[in-house]
């Protein structure tokens, strides 16, 4: 689900005493697009101290970046607002060992517009279109996208939005599942992530986050079979059998 409040929390200096980054919940926003009101919701990267913030800034500066470059072959670069993610140098700064599956409760086009809106304060790394499986990359995998509602998960994960609504299975096309599976298999291969349900999770499974996405119609058994098949067709890196 698309949510906000993470960048605001990071700027505010708020954070839970246990280091989870859980402070007051981010405010929900009402996006008006095409004459329809769309309620969008994500929250949770909270602040570090000033010295750590400075370290993050310098940690990201030594990474060569080319405008329009993508991590997933065939993806279209559609950059999110810089307010909706934090520049980093992953996996040097933070190990990447999770993939988070989202559903935005919105169309593909609306999702892109929301993540390009600096006032939204959240974005995912990728958005997958339902009709044809087209993939937009909005945040480089190097960087920390404000997408999981949990600071530690943001730092360690890659987030993927899938066009549609949790209560409408019609958006869960064969093409969407297959395209997303290839995307996730590539991510797992790049970072040595095991292809299992401990490391590929729904947004609703992120600790301390109350969400329903990707929703009750998301077919996890089918999806994991597709991811394993796609991983096996590639280099096989990270394609461990599901526990």
53 vs 240: CA distance, rounded Å: 36
User: Side by side, which strands form the sheet with 126-128?
Assistant: 76-77, 135-137, 126-128, 157-162, 98-102, 200-202
Query: Does 145 have pLDDT greater than 50?
Result: yes
Residue 98 near residue 187 (C-beta atoms within 8 A): no
Residue 219 near residue 212 (C-beta atoms within 8 A): no
68 vs 235: CA distance, rounded Å: 25
The predicted pLDDT at position 3 comes to: 58
The predicted pLDDT at position 79 comes to: 97
The verdict on pTM exceeding 0.75 is yes
| Structure confidence by residue, pLDDT tens digits, 85-97 | 999 999 999 999 9
Rounded to an integer, the average pLDDT of 168-189 is 98
Q: Which residues, listed in sequence order, are joined to residue 126 by a DSSP beta bridge?
A: 137, 160
Q: For residue 64, which of 87, 96, 86 has the smallest C-alpha distance?
A: 87
* Mean pLDDT of all residues belonging to the chain: 80
- 133 contacts: CB under 8 Å, gap ≥ 6: 173, 175, 176, 178, 179, 180
123 vs 80: CA distance, rounded Å: 7
How many C-beta atoms lie closer than 10 Å to residue 59's C-beta? 17
The predicted pLDDT at position 29 comes to: 34
Torsion of CA 106, 123, 102, 19, to 10 degrees: -140
The predicted pLDDT at position 63 comes to: 81
The predicted pLDDT at position 189 comes to: 97
220 vs 239: CA distance, rounded Å: 16
Query: Does 211 have pLDDT greater than 80?
Result: yes
| Structure confidence by residue, pLDDT tens digits, 51-82 | 444 444 455 556 888 989 999 999 999 999 99
| Structure confidence by residue, pLDDT tens digits, 33-55 | 333 334 344 443 333 444 444 44
- To which H or E segment does residue 111 belong? helix 108-115
Query: Does 32 have pLDDT greater than 80?
Result: no
Query: Does 171 have pLDDT greater than 80?
Result: yes
75 vs 205: CA distance, rounded Å: 27
Q: Are strands 200-202 and 135-137 parallel, antiparallel or unpaired?
A: unpaired
What's the sign of the alpha-carbon dihedral 214, 201, 98, 170? negative
**Region for residue 83 given its phi and psi (left: phi exceeds 0; alpha: psi -120 to 50; beta: otherwise):** alpha
Q: Are strands 98-102 and 157-162 parallel, antiparallel or unpaired?
A: parallel
Rounded to an integer, the average pLDDT of 212-235 is 93
């Amino acid at each position: 689900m698309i949510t906000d409040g993470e960048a605001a929390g990071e700027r505010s200096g708020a954070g839970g005493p246990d280091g989870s980054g859980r402070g007051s919940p981010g405010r929900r926003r009402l996006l008006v697009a095409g004459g329809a009101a769309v309620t969008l919701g994500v929250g949770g990267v909270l602040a570090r101290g000033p010295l750590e913030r400075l370290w993050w800034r310098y940690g990201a500066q030594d990474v060569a970046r080319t405008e329009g470059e993508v991590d997933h072959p065939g993806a279209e670069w559609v950059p999110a607002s810089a307010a909706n993610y934090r520049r980093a140098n992953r996996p040097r700064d933070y190990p990447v060992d999770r993939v988070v599956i989202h559903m935005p409760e919105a169309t593909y086009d609306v999702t892109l517009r929301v993540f390009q809106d600096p006032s939204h304060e959240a974005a995912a790394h990728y958005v997958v279109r339902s009709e044809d499986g087209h993939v937009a990359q909005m945040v480089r995998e190097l960087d920390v996208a404000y997408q999981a509602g949990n600071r530690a998960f943001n730092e360690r994960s890659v987030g993927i939005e899938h066009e549609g609504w949790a209560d409408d299975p019609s958006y869960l096309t064969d093409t969407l599942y297959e395209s997303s599976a290839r995307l996730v298999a590539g991510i797992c291969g790049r970072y040595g992530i095991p292809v299992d349900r401990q490391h590929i999770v729904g947004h609703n499974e992120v600790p301390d986050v109350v969400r329903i996405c990707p929703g009750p119609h998301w077919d996890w058994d089918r999806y994991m079979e597709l991811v394993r098949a796609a991983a096996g067709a590639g280099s096989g890196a990270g394609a461990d059998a599901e526990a």
